[in-house]
Structure 1
């Protein structure tokens, strides 16, 4: 009997270690989200993580995730970087990565829910890495095989850690735009933002220069110096924050045209207060009166003489460093944009509550005598340039949509002009 028990234990041990990490991770996810078996899911943790995350913690996790994203449906694909695996998972309302890290014994030592991370496939001929200072930007280059119009559009993201498609929930506005441009003979390059691919390079001494501007300029310089793109017009398209800092990018990039998609002209701290107050008005449970009071207090401090480079992040909006905010305080986009002498297109969605018509009109008024600047307003489009109706809210981003075709046609017309 003792020999039989030993044999069974050896078999179980061999079976467990014979499982691949994708299988182990998949079983963990299945236990948690399909079987609702928190006890079994807990056995996949190493001893330290198991001591920090209890079975009850896991039991409470599922209804929270279900409330935000609906029921778990399936794992779509698995990718990895060394010991960290990304299980691209499909929920009823959204898709995201469940990031799981393993130790040498194939026990889970960490798991997180993050936006889907794009991985280049070995046979992907559209993948292109571009050196930018201390990192390689990973991106996608689309080029028409026929009817090449000799135009190349470079995409620059909004705020936060964004992938090359600017994925928000089910929506991928940069991918939509790039694929439409391709159908019209226009090349494009979009890349993973460094705060997404290499977050370790961003610290308390970093500014929007390191976050966005330098990489955009380096990408533009790469294509301008590349013999394969000799004779091409280079166009930079910036969305949200990417449009906000476009005048800074233009100083060094010196390309043929610039496209400003929903870029704020007002200071970021002013935009934040508007956003907080708007969300509180339509969804008080999301943003409380106390939240509004706190952000106003932080903005008041930021705008006061008390603010300095030594100010702690706890006293500043969004937990951003004093160095980051000092750069933005010194930046005057409405003055800087007057230095751009090449064609510009400013586009704005009428249902955009994040960056509003107030900003659009500020750009328009500042450049009213500039015949190279064009302005187009789309009343039914949101911040992602997806059509909608009713009261604009964060719920607009929960469902899948596509960038509006009327806007895309106008974009192509401006690029080909």
Structure 2
């Protein structure tokens, strides 16, 4: 068997160029193993090789294969890497890849029997650039093979410069969610955040519109106006800041549904004080009392009548510009969310110290009369929707985990409802 599995011979065949490589290989395999027409299969070989492997020897090899593998049943899948094609083939006793190598003129060059090689289907993963204002979003489009559910989810990140997977420490929550959606027949698009790909485009005049809102709206517009996605439900999923800004995104995007993952319902600047105080209690060395007092001083100034568009960034939280904070101060997410007339899904983790149950309950109270709003609380989940235990801390992000499956199941149910 080892000799058979490592058998390699150079083969050429004369084919009509109307056949593509996939068809050529399929025809060769079925001729040899299903029809057992050895002479016809042998005719695929280049004369220089045919002399080294005469018809009788090819017949002997085929018979040995039948004895060891059982009868040929079917070709299950075909993949390729350049000129090498892998025909995942089912035999009576086992499944193997028949590996065929082609020349540039579409003639076969190699023939192996090898263990099955797993491939990501090319129609499942596509690098897709979408124009947004004066930049291009660099993203990944995942489309299931059948794609009959006609749902597409667009991901919107939390604060900070995030890649398309929303990589935080050892974890990639957006990638986890997108791949789960894919396996459940739901398409998705996730992109590198603008301040991740183009940090040079941010200046003292930039706001959350440039950081978060515009790109989400433009991505939604791209798919809504693309004839390939006609009839699709476009759904926007926002995490943390993405959920916080979702009511404004919804006003412009006009999507079919919205998903809020750990979005703050309280003013962002007030939330910062709570976060600093909490981090000080669990690790005073990393967040000393002086840092807590400084953030409190900055937030007090921001909330006062002294704050104006000319206030220096050095006096404001996180060193963000006055333009950035003015937009945030003028924004009222709880008022805006009431204007959304399509289904919404709010999810919150109980081990989230960045956005807490207080925010979850404020969303819930604001939408208490909205029957299309779904609220789900997960006691053991962190800000990244990964299960954990003990006192929550930044160390949770350094522990590799996966987005919780119960949350993912609830998400699927909402998307397909």
After superposition, give the CA deviation of every residue in 1:97-142 in whole Å (9 maximum; x if it has no partner). Answer: xxxxxxxxxxxxxxxxxxxxxxxxx999510000001101000000
Question: Does the aligned pair in 1 maintain the 2:124–2:142 contact within 8 Å?
Answer: no
After superposition, give the CA deviation of every residue in 1:303-326 in whole Å (9 maximum; x if it has no partner). Answer: 111101110011000000000000
Supply the distance in 2 between the matched residues of 1:385 and 1:265 (Cα, whole angstroms). Answer: 18
Ranges in structure 1 where 5+ consecutive residues have no aligned partner:
1-121
1:328 and 2:313 aligned: no
Q: State the shift of 1:148 in Å.
A: 2.9
Between structure 1 and structure 2, the one with the greater Rg is: 2
Supply the distance in 1 between the matched residues of 2:333 and 2:267 (Cα, whole angstroms). Answer: 9
Supply the distance in 1 between the matched residues of 2:285 and 2:414 (Cα, whole angstroms). Answer: 42
Q: State the shift of 1:146 in Å.
A: 2.2
Partner of residue 293, structure 2: 293
**Moved segments of 4+, more than 3 Å:** 122-125
Supply the distance in 2 between the matched residues of 1:274 and 1:285 (Cα, whole angstroms). Answer: 17
After superposition, give the CA deviation of every residue in 1:142-180 in whole Å (9 maximum; x if it has no partner). Answer: 000025310000000000000000000110000000000
Partner of residue 230, structure 1: 230
Question: Does the aligned pair in 1 maintain the 2:243–2:261 contact within 8 Å?
Answer: yes
Supply the distance in 1 between the matched residues of 2:350 and 2:229 (Cα, whole angstroms). Answer: 36
Residues 317 and 403 of structure 1: is their aligned pair in 2 closer, same or farther, counting only changes over 3 Å?
same
Partner of residue 270, structure 1: 270
TM-score normalised according to structure 1 size: 0.70
TM-score normalised according to structure 2 size: 0.70
Supply the distance in 2 between the matched residues of 1:123 and 1:156 (Cα, whole angstroms). Answer: 23
Q: Could you say what secondary structure the match of 1:413 adopts?
A: helix
1:167 and 2:167 aligned: yes
Q: Could you say what secondary structure the match of 1:185 adopts?
A: coil
Q: State the shift of 1:416 in Å.
A: 0.2
After superposition, give the CA deviation of every residue in 1:207-256 in whole Å (9 maximum; x if it has no partner). Answer: 00111101100000000000110011000000000000000000010010
1:415 and 2:412 aligned: no
Q: Could you say what secondary structure the match of 2:338 adopts?
A: helix
Supply the distance in 2 between the matched residues of 1:238 and 1:168 (Cα, whole angstroms). Answer: 16
Partner of residue 19, structure 1: none
Partner of residue 247, structure 1: 247
Supply the distance in 1 between the matched residues of 2:290 and 2:409 (Cα, whole angstroms). Answer: 44
Partner of residue 403, structure 2: 403
1:379 and 2:375 aligned: no
After superposition, give the CA deviation of every residue in 1:37-80 in whole Å (9 maximum; x if it has no partner). Answer: xxxxxxxxxxxxxxxxxxxxxxxxxxxxxxxxxxxxxxxxxxxx
Partner of residue 351, structure 1: 351
1:217 and 2:217 aligned: yes
Partner of residue 158, structure 2: 158
Q: Could you say what secondary structure the match of 2:190 adopts?
A: strand
Q: Could you say what secondary structure the match of 2:401 adopts?
A: coil
Residues 390 and 339 of structure 1: is their aligned pair in 2 closer, same or farther, counting only changes over 3 Å?
same
Q: Could you say what secondary structure the match of 2:301 adopts?
A: helix
Supply the distance in 2 between the matched residues of 1:186 and 1:147 (Cα, whole angstroms). Answer: 7
After superposition, give the CA deviation of every residue in 1:263-310 in whole Å (9 maximum; x if it has no partner). Answer: 000011111000000000111111111111100000000011110111
Partner of residue 261, structure 1: 261
After superposition, give the CA deviation of every residue in 1:349-397 in whole Å (9 maximum; x if it has no partner). Answer: 0000000000000000000000000100000000000000000000001
Aligned residues: CA RMSD: 1.3
Ranges in structure 2 where 5+ consecutive residues have no aligned partner:
1-121
